[in-house]
Structures are given as structure tokens and as C-alpha cells.
Amino acid sequence: MAEIRYTKDHEYIRIDGAEGVVGISDHAQQQLGDVVFAETPPLGKTLKAGEPAAVVESVKAASDVFAPVSGEVVAVNADVEKTPGIINEDALGRGWLFRIRIADLSELAALMDEAAYAAYLETQA
């Protein structure tokens, strides 16, 4: 199974070799409520870790989605732009936002694994 890492801003990256699939965590989609709009970054855009990369809007709020690592956007999920509710249905699966070619794999060390993210969520309650 692919390794998943999380940010404190509730993005995830599912690592697949030198690339990663990025989206918002299940916790984040629950907090947002019904997602009504998603905007992915342009293909080929170079992102720096921590900078805004995408936007997800719900009936409650609009939220920036930050790049968990630096790299180049190599694919976007057009399905979530057409049907943003997919994020609510399957945030860690079909609801991904973009795929990034990771520029520096060592940046992954700054992210939380699933156990650390679960512990982090406990502190946010």
C-alpha cells in the first residue's frame, strides 16, 4: 500500500515513487462540509512546499490547499472540478486534486505519517 503523509493544514500526499498524489484529508472534508467548488493548479506549475496550490470551497468556507512538498504539477483531477462532491465521498481516493513530481524527497520527512496525524487531530479537538 502507498505511504501517505499529512500536513498540519490537513493536506495529504500519497507517495508513489518520485511523485505524489495530493488532496485534502478526510478530516478536512468533514470540517468543510459539502464541497461545492474545487480548483486545481495548472499543469506544469512549479510549487514550493507550503504555498497555495489549489482551492476547495464548501457551503461553509473557501480554503486554500497548500503544496505539501515542492515540485512540478504533472496531473490534475478534472473530475473534482466537474463534480467537487467527490471530495466528500472519497477524499483519499477519487477526490485527489493534483499529482506532483517531488523535487526533494527529503521534504517528506517534515510531514506526519498516519499515526502522527491521528495524534495531531486528537490535540485539535
pLDDT digits (tens, 9 = 90+) for 80-91: 999 999 999 999
Domain membership of residue 125 (yes or no) is no
Q: What average pLDDT does the segment 92-98 reach?
A: 97
* Nearby residues of 84 by Cβ (< 8 Å), 6 or more positions away: 35, 36, 37, 38, 56, 57
Question: 64: domain CATH number?
Answer: 2.40.50.100
C-alpha cell belonging to residue 42: 495548472
β-pair partners for 6 = 12, 112
Q: Count of domains in the chain?
A: 1
Domain membership of residue 123 (yes or no) is no
Domain membership of residue 98 (yes or no) is yes
Q: What average pLDDT does the segment 93-115 reach?
A: 97
pTM of the predicted structure, to 2 decimals: 0.96
| Structural domain boundaries, residue 26 | 3-118
Domain membership of residue 102 (yes or no) is yes
Q: Decide if pLDDT at 124 tops 90.
A: no
pLDDT digits (tens, 9 = 90+) for 22-75: 999 999 999 999 999 999 999 999 999 999 999 999 998 999 999 999 999 999
* Nearby residues of 13 by Cβ (< 8 Å), 6 or more positions away: 4, 5, 20, 21, 22, 68, 69, 100, 108, 111
| pLDDT band for position 2 (cuts 50, 70, 90) | confident
Domain membership of residue 124 (yes or no) is no
Domain membership of residue 55 (yes or no) is yes
